[in-house]
Amino acid sequence: FLKMELNDEEIADVREENTSFFQYNPKLIPLVVVVVGFAVFWVVLVSVSAASMAPQQTLETRVQTENIMTHLDEFQKIALANNNSRSIVNGYNDSAEYVISTLQQEAGDYYQIRKEYFSGVTSTILETPTLSQVFPGHDNRNAIVFEDMIDFRQPRYGGDGKFDLQGKRVILVGGVGCEASDYLEIQECVDSAEGGCVALLPRSSDCTLYDSAVLAESAGALAVLASGPLTNTRVRDTWWTPDSTLVTIPTFSVTNSVSSSLLSLTPSYVDLTANLEVGVHPTYNVIAQGKGGIEKDGAEKRSGSQSVFVGAHLDSVAAGPGLNDNGSGSATILEIAIQVSKIGGDLNNPVRFAWWGAEEEGLIGSRHYVAQLSDSEKSRIAVYMNHDMLASPNYIINVKNATDAPLVTKPGQVVQGMYEDYYNTRKVPFMNGPLQGGSDFLSFLEGDVPAHGMSAGAGEIKTDEGRTLYGGLADAPLDPCYHRACDTIDNINQQCLTDISQATSNVLWSLLNKDNLASFLGRN
């Protein structure tokens, strides 16, 4: 095996250092030396072999759920210190500073981090609105009192201020309420002794409720009642900017039954109260561009071309801390960003991360970002991957269906297929929900940038199929605490969080290492 011989001088040295053993066993010296040498040889050999056989560490193996939970715990502490909320008027800024400081501490100079400032707008209902059909000259005990959230509701941005309208006449506008000429009778009422009337709108697909409400207010209407199925659509410009017009008169969505009751009498009158506050607030997105990429025109381009863009909204609603919606998505991509930097090395394709502000107010942060991009900047985004609500307690794994998106793109379909392949290989069930609205991927699709999205469900009801695949409760919301104060860290399903964060890590790592990303994605 291995033969080692010592001369007399070397033996003497060994004997001197090991007197207690060798003074009685001088014949064992050569044998011991042989055994020790043999052992060292095999230790070295095994160590080298083990190192060569060890699997290469990938992003998926480095992204650990316990680290994501650590970030979520910090988000919860921030919410508790800010009225149990991380909205843009509560704990959002502290959440953003945590993301920035954590990236700087853990990732060093791997990312170029910047704040992108913009103005966000909020709408807060301060008092429960009321609506009644009244009969002037008669006892008010005969009034028909409509019930909030059943017969009517006040949509977000449907007014600004405190209102108390008593015995005001209701006028059905002409046409479908999409033209200024439809409000001539409203204008006549303003000039009459009544001093103004309430506009009743038919539901129309020819224009938005916001468009009609702006026309009604311009004509002098005191309030707007929009008939049809109750809606909580924002009565506001979709791509809102500080220059956009805001509706200030109370605007209610009413059922067809309410509308029929009001139209059954001519004239018809209502009492209406509302107290709603609209505010404009400065806020910002957090953008982190990884090494090897360029974000804005005119910036120094270190290398690489198209970035893989990964994003999640960081804000919550005012009513709760938003640990699932969307602390789960924000914490996940934060941990992924950290681990990408720690692996380091030269990636074939750069990565960009974003934490959006004011998503809960209508995707304002991501829409602002996309609106500022030039065509060349858009072309340097290979695909945008959105993450919103990744740990719903009664979850499904929702791989968004890129084939039914408002902008059907090849890259979105390719990313969808990568997620599906990942889950199929691991025998993890998934479902395909629509990629049509409700989160920041829509901003990119509307801006002609390929996108995809992952989620675990919001207030949707779980189907029997969903229960069969994932357990939980059928005929119950996927997240019972959606947009509520109970969306705390106790609302996080860690198994779901693991299943989606690991899949995203796998898909992202594959994209970052593709030799010809544009060709692979079919990105023109």
| Residue 93 pLDDT > 60 | yes
Average pLDDT over residues 320-326: 98
> Would 472 be classed as within a structural domain?
yes
Same domain membership, residue 357 and residue 406: yes
> Would 169 be classed as within a structural domain?
yes
Same domain membership, residue 184 and residue 40: no
Of 278, 301, 335, which marks where a domain is finished? 278
Average pLDDT over residues 2-19: 45
Same domain membership, residue 245 and residue 338: no
> Would 67 be classed as within a structural domain?
no
Range of the domain at 458: 74-110+291-521
pLDDT at 294: 67
pLDDT at 6: 46
Specify whether the CB–CB gap between 412 and 380 falls below 8 A.
no
Average pLDDT over residues 208-214: 95
- Count: domains in the chain: 3
pLDDT at 256: 96
Same domain membership, residue 95 and residue 187: no
Ranking 7-21, 42-56, 198-212 by mean pLDDT, the lowest is 42-56
DSSP reduced 3-state for 252: strand
CATH number, residue 503? 3.40.630.10
> Would 119 be classed as within a structural domain?
no
Q: Catalytic one among 60, 295, 335, 359?
A: 359
Q: Is 9 a catalytic residue?
A: no
Q: Please provide residue 124's backbone torsions phi and psi, each rounded to the nearest 5 degrees.
A: -130, 125
Same domain membership, residue 164 and residue 23: no
| Residue 414 pLDDT > 80 | yes
Residues 6+ away with beta carbon under 8 Å from 437: 406
> Would 118 be classed as within a structural domain?
no
Residue with tokens 């119950």: 476
Q: How confident is the model at residue 298 (pLDDT cuts 50, 70, 90)?
A: low
Average pLDDT, the chain: 89
Same domain membership, residue 377 and residue 457: yes
Which of 501 and 57 is assigned the larger pLDDT?
501
| Residue 239 pLDDT > 80 | yes
pLDDT at 400: 97
Output the six-digit token pair for 216. Answer: 């009604």
Instruction: Name the percent of the chain lying above pLDDT 70.
Output: 87
Instruction: Name the percent of the chain lying above pLDDT 90.
Output: 80
CATH number, residue 145? 3.50.30.30
Average pLDDT over residues 186-214: 93
Same domain membership, residue 238 and residue 304: no
> Would 58 be classed as within a structural domain?
no
Of 278, 304, 335, which marks where a domain is finished? 278
pLDDT at 57: 66
Q: How confident is the model at residue 297 (pLDDT cuts 50, 70, 90)?
A: low
Of 278, 313, 329, which marks where a domain is finished? 278
Same domain membership, residue 439 and residue 380: yes
> Would 391 be classed as within a structural domain?
yes
Q: At what angle do helices 329-343 and 92-107 cross, to 10 degrees?
A: 20
Same domain membership, residue 99 and residue 40: no
Q: How far apart are CA 184 and CA 247, in angstroms?
A: 19
pTM of the model: 0.85
Same domain membership, residue 216 and residue 170: yes
pLDDT at 80: 98
Same domain membership, residue 137 and residue 248: yes
Q: How far apart are CA 524 and CA 511, in angstroms?
A: 16
Q: How confident is the model at residue 295 (pLDDT cuts 50, 70, 90)?
A: confident
Same domain membership, residue 344 and residue 463: yes
> Would 380 be classed as within a structural domain?
yes
| Residue 253 pLDDT > 60 | yes
Residues 6+ away with beta carbon under 8 Å from 16: none
pLDDT at 52: 34
| Residue 220 pLDDT > 80 | yes
Peptide bond into 326 cis (omega under 30): yes
Q: How far apart are CA 363 and CA 50, in angstroms?
A: 50
